[in-house]
Chains A and B, each alone.
Chain A
C-alpha cells in the first residue's frame, strides 16, 4: 500500500494524537472551571479551621484572611520564599499575629508551621501544616498523629507566657518543653522555630500591625 509511507504515517498518527490531546485537555479545563469556585471555598474553610485551632474565634473580629502582611524571605522564620503574617484585631486594636513559619531542621526536612502569637507576646497556639517526620516516631508534632489524644505534645505551646519564651527550648537544651525519647530532633526543630517566631513577633509587632494590608513589611 502506497499510503503507508513514513511521512503519511507520521502525519496521520500526529493528527490523531493532537485530536486526543485537544479533547482530553478540554475535558480537564472544563472540570477545572466547574470545580474551581467550590475548591477555593473549601480551601478557605480549611484554613479557617486550622486558624480556629490556634486562635479562638472570640479573640478577633476582623476579616483575618484579608488582613495580612506579605513577608519576604525571612531567616528568623525559616522562610526561604516568604510567607504571610495575618493580623487579628479586636475592635480595631491589635489582638494577635498568625505567622507562617518553617522549622528548617526537622528530621526529614522542613516542617511548615502556623504560629499564633498574642499582642502581649504570649503564644496562643501552634500547628504543623505539613511535615515528613518519621511515622510513629517523630510525627507526634502533628496532633492528628499524636497517640496522646487528650493533651497532644504541640498543645504545650498554647498559652506559653511572654516571660516563658526564653525557656521555650526542649528540656535536653535546658528549657521546659518535653519531648519523646528517641525523637528529640523533631521536637527541638518545632520548639526552636516557635521561639524564633515569638521573638520576631515581639521585635516587629508595631511595624507588622502598621504595614499596609496585602503589602510588604
Chain B
C-alpha cells in the first residue's frame, strides 16, 4: 500500500468513521473513564497501543485463521495482547501503570478493537492494518479528550487534575476558584451521555455544513441551494 492509501485510512479512522461519534462503538470505556482529561487521554493512549498491536498481529496471521472460528481466535489474540501490555506496563513503567493500570483490562471490553480486527485487519496488509488501528485509536482518544475536558471543566471546575501522577511537578488548573461548588451530573454517567450527544450533534453539524457548501459551490455551476435546504437533505452520516 502506498502513502495515499495510508492517508485515506488515517482520515477514515480519525474523522469519517470516528469510533466515538460516528460508529458509536465502545461506549463502555468512553462513558466510564471520561470524567477528567488525564484519565481520558490515558485510556486513549493505551487503546491506541492495543489496537495497533492487535491489528498488526491479526493482519499478519490472517491467512492461518480459518473463517469459521475467526471470532474466538481474534478474542484470544486480543486478550493475550492486552495481558502482555498490562504485565509489561506494570513491570517496566510502574508509575504510568498506577494511572493506566485499571484501564488496560477495560480495553478488552471495548468492542471497537474486535470490530476493527474483523472489519479491517482480517482483510488487509499488516502495514495498512496498523495505520488503521492507530488512526481509529487516535479518533477515539480525541473524542475522549474533548469529553473529558467538557465534563471536568463543568463538573469540578478543573482541567488536567491528576497530571502530577504522570508528569511530576506539573499541577492541574483550577478554573473557577477553590469555592466552585461543582456540577455533579457532569461527572456522573448521565453527564457523559449528554456531553457525547453534543459532540455527535456538533460533528453532524460540521458535516452538514460541509456538504451544504459543496452543493452551494458545485464544480459544475448549478442553481445554488440555501444552506438550510442543503442541511435538511444532507446525509445524516
Interface residues of A (CB under 8 A from B): 9, 12-13, 16-17, 20-21, 24-25, 27-28, 31-32, 34-35, 38-39, 42, 46, 134-137, 144, 147
Residue B91 contacts which of A12, A35, A136, A147 (CB distance < 8 angstroms)? A35
CB of B10, distance to nearest CB on chain A (Å): 29
Q: Contacts A35-B92, A38-B91 known; list 17 others, CB within 8 Å.
A: A12-B66, A13-B66, A13-B69, A16-B65, A16-B66, A20-B65, A20-B76, A24-B76, A25-B80, A32-B87, A38-B92, A39-B87, A42-B90, A46-B98, A134-B188, A136-B187, A147-B178
- Complex interface: chain B residues within 8 A of A135 (CB): 35, 187-188
- Min distance, Cβ A190 to any Cβ of chain B, angstroms: 21
Shortest Cβ gap from A51 to chain B (Å) = 16
Interchain nearest-CB distance for B44 vs A (Å): 19
Residue numbers in A under 8 Å from B68 (CB-CB): 9, 13
Ordered by A's residue number, 28 sampled pairs between the chains whose C-beta atoms are within 8 Å are: A13-B66, A16-B73, A17-B69, A17-B72, A20-B65, A20-B76, A21-B76, A24-B76, A24-B80, A27-B80, A27-B84, A28-B80, A28-B83, A28-B84, A34-B91, A35-B88, A35-B91, A35-B92, A38-B91, A39-B87, A39-B90, A42-B91, A46-B94, A46-B98, A134-B188, A135-B35, A135-B188, A144-B162
Q: Which residues from chain B contact A16 at a C-beta distance below 8 Å?
A: 64-66, 69, 73
A136 to B182, Cβ gap below 8 A? yes
Chain A residues, CB < 8 A from B98: 46
Residue of A nearest to B179 (CB): A147
Contacts of B90 in A (CB 8 A): 35, 38-39, 42
Q: Is the CB of A137 within 8 A of B184?
A: yes
Number of residues of chain B lying within 8 A (CB) of chain A:
28
Q: Which residue of chain A lies nearest to B95 when distances are taken between CB atoms in the complex?
A: A42
Given the known interface contacts A35-B91, A136-B187, the answer about A20 and B84 at a Cβ–Cβ threshold of 8 Å is: no
How far is A46 from B77 in the complex, measured between Cα atoms in Å?
31
Give A144 to B99 CA distance when docked, in angstroms.
12
User: Once the chains are docked, how many angstroms separate the CA of A136 from the CA of B94?
Assistant: 26
Judged by a CB distance under 8 angstroms, whether B156 is at the interface is: yes
**Any A CB within 8 A of the CB of B148:** no
Whether, in the assembled complex, B155 has its beta carbon less than 8 Å from a beta carbon of chain A, the answer is: yes
Chain B residues contacting A134 (CB-CB under 8 Å) are: 184, 188
Residues of B with C-beta under 8 A to A137? 184
Please report the number of residue pairs spanning A and B whose Cβ atoms sit closer than 8 angstroms. 62
Contact in complex: B84, A31 (CB < 8 Å): yes
The 3 closest A-B pairs by CB, nearest first: A35-B91, A38-B91, A24-B80
A178 CB to nearest B CB, Å: 17
Query: Which of A16, A34, A144, A147 has the most B CB atoms < 10 Å from its CB?
Result: A147
- CB-based contact A136/B155 at 8 Å: yes
Q: Which residues of B contact A12 (CB under 8 A)?
A: 66
Per the bound structure, the CA–CA distance linking A25 and B76 in Å amounts to 9
Q: Is A39 in contact with B91, judged by CB distance below 8 angstroms?
A: yes
Q: Give chain B interface residues in 47-100, CB to chain A under 8 Å.
A: 64-66, 68-69, 72-73, 76-77, 80, 83-84, 87-88, 90-92, 94, 98
- Once A35-B88, A39-B91 are accepted as A-B contacts, the answer to whether A136 and B66 lie under 8 Å apart by CB is no
In the complex, what distance in Å separates the CA atom of A124 from the CA atom of B184?
Answer: 33
How far, in whole Å, are A134 and B35 apart by their CA atoms in the complex?
12
Closest to B67 in A: A13
Question: Smallest distance from the beta carbon of B235 to chain A beta carbons, Å?
Answer: 39
* Chain A residues whose CB sits within 8 angstroms of the CB of B87 once the complex forms: 31-32, 35, 39
Chain B residue at minimum C-beta to C-beta distance from A10: B68
Within 8 A of A (CB), among B105-162: 155-156, 162
> Which B residue sits closest to A40, measured CB to CB?
B91
List, in ascending order, chain B residues with CB within 8 A of A144's CB. Answer: 162
CB distance from A114 to the nearest CB of B (A): 17
Q: How far, in whole Å, are A75 and B187 apart by their CA atoms in the complex?
A: 35
